[in-house]
Structure 1
């Protein structure tokens, strides 16, 4: 592949009207119902959501509780009993209900990352008015290494790009069960190396490249930071980890407390890990369980966000503690009233956007010109 051929097409923006034209009518009706529920006066939203939910000294945000109520009424789940393909399709539909219209003005460009097996697809997001070399976030989407895509996290990438004032490279890494561990890890590291090598062509400063992601994507970002740092040479300048999976070997207290009823369940986690790390995989491998790495010193500064009502909460916070003990600069931010997945719910209510904006602020500060 020629060195100048990885950028495909012209920079463009997608208007909300153009995006709506591609959404099936029934889904648009459902989205209108969801928006209508969130537009109700607070007393009516509380009535619809039910009595406040309190657990472990925390109270669930009304925005989050209403979302869970609407999810139960719809009968949809994060993981479909009909299997992987249906789960992926359901997530693609569900994103139209909660992520909101495309955030503008943000330019997008397709990028092909050359790897041993061909090209790894990615999308480069550039917020309007960004001049000169900028910071870059290499972003890995969540979805348990099995579901999710650049499309499912499109507005998340747009939001982070716009609010942080950086470019975002969202990577379409290979998914399980078609490609089991460590395929996604190999893709994530290749994407970071590409971003650093092609920084000038991407319009970014090679000294200001961060890695980040949510859930399984947070896991991949953490692993990429470890691998890049330990080998020597180019390493990320910063890590942005939303409720990352960090330890596949044990269940902590939060997994028991929030095993069911809060979007991501313990059963979902078993389903995801069973596809990504099937029998025979060493789940203590730091490329799967970054919390278990022998040495965490020397890693780049990190912002770790956890959600109070999330089975993954405690392992994310355990990773933050280990990093801090190793001398790494850590900003740990528990969102005590939210559930797993909140960076995808930017189109409903206010609380999800508020929490994600805090992380974008941390990214802006970390990648600002020195």
Structure 2
């Protein structure tokens, strides 16, 4: 048993190791998507919210969670799901977004972008940008306020949230009030020490992450700033940014390296490493105390906008 991990997560990790550490890159894309969806039940109770709306544009879709409690103005969250650019959908992230909606009394916009390998770069990046601009333009219609808007995402979604903010800055468009990046994918080269230390045993492996990058980036060089935004040449003037990392995660070091790079660029930033958990823990509120605590923490940040 992996005794430094939370007990329920340790059981999952032990089962993965006992199964021979199956390689994600040897599975079909459909199998990877179905496996991710099957794990959604670990996210805990499917809470009731005030209302849910969903709409589909030509290249992306949006699901809006409305809180039940009325307010003169609600904070708003635009959330990009993880899945290594090749998987993830509304249902993989439904439970934690309902929790955020309720705990923050916030409008929560879940954005589903096109997936690789069917759609390669810049499809997901362009979808994230188009969805963000559309939501920002109409935010007041839903009772939101542009001054209380956070962009967030986990893993590949954290990557998309960061790049979207960088694109908004480049076009001199209004920025969100804050960014929240949950163990974001930031370095397509996988060069950090945590990739080597935690890249084989902890369920979300280096093979899984890098094969997702490979499928999505296509011919784009891995050092391109939108492939590896950790090395973006101009991080200055981003909004206040909160980063959450996980102790046993191949992506841990690059998330923390981004925190240091943001500080060096003069950006207001904070970073918290959650002990005893693995990549993807934010979606494990049904079994992980750390996940429940982190959801409450993100909701508190959102309420304070």
TM-score per shorter chain, which class? Answer: over 0.9
Query: What does 1:328-347 correspond to in 2, within 5 Å?
Result: 328-347=267-286
Shift of 1:162: 1.6
Q: Give the aligned partner of residue 107 of structure 1.
A: 51
The SS at the match of 1:198 is helix
Question: What is the CA-CA distance between 1:189 and the residue it aligns to?
Answer: 0.7
1:215-254 pair list within 5 angstroms: 215-254=155-194
Partner of 1:146: 86
Report the Cα offset of residue 51 of structure 1: 5.7
The superposition leaves residues 278-318 of structure 1 with CA deviations (integer Å, 9 ceiling, x where unpaired) of 2x212222222111111111100011000010000000110
Contact 1:219 1:290 in 2 (8 A): yes
How has the CA–CA distance of structure 1 residues 289 and 130 changed in structure 2, closer, same or farther, with 3 Å as cutoff?
farther
Q: Is the 8 A contact 1:78 1:264 kept in 2?
A: no
Residue 359 of structure 1, CA deviation: 2.4
Question: Which residue of the partner structure matches residue 286 of structure 1?
Answer: 225
SS in 2 for 1:171: strand
Mapped to 2, the partners of 1:237 and 1:349 lie a distance apart of: 29
Q: Larger deviation: 211-220 or 132-141?
A: 132-141
Name the SS for the 2:82 alignment partner: coil
Q: Report whether the alignment pairs 1:120 with 2:60.
A: yes
Q: Match of 1:201, SS? A: helix
Equivalent residue for 2:234?
295
Does the aligned pair in 2 maintain the 1:80–1:86 contact within 8 Å?
Answer: no
2:209 aligns to what?
Answer: 269
Answering whether residue 149 of structure 2 is matched by residue 205 of structure 1, we say no
Q: Is the 8 A contact 2:52 2:65 kept in 1?
A: yes
Deviation at 1:217, TM superposition (A): 0.2
Query: How far apart are residue 89 of structure 1 and its match?
Result: 1.4
Higher RCO (CA < 8 A, seq sep 6+): 2
Q: Give the drift of 1:235.
A: 1.5
Answer whether contact 1:61 1:337 (CA < 8 A) is retained.
yes
Structure 1 stretch displaced more, 174-183 or 195-204: 195-204
RMSD (CA atoms) = 2.0
Q: Tell which deviates more after alignment, 131-140 or 253-262.
A: 131-140
Conserved 8 A contact 2:74-2:106: yes
The alignment of Structure 1 onto Structure 2 pairs a total of residues equal to 305
Whichever of the two has the greater Rg, that structure is: 1
- TM-aligned CA distance change 1:92 to 1:74, over 3 Å: farther
**Residues 94 and 80 of structure 1, relative CA distance in 2, 3 Å threshold:** farther
- Structure 2 residue 34 is matched with structure 1 residue 89: yes
Name the residue aligned to 1:159.
99
Change (3 A) 1:78 1:105: farther
Q: Which moved more, 1:327-336 or 1:349-358?
A: 349-358
Contact 1:135 1:166 in 2 (8 A): yes
Q: In the alignment, which residue of structure 2 is the partner of 1:257?
A: 197
CA contact (8 A) 1:228 1:236 kept: no
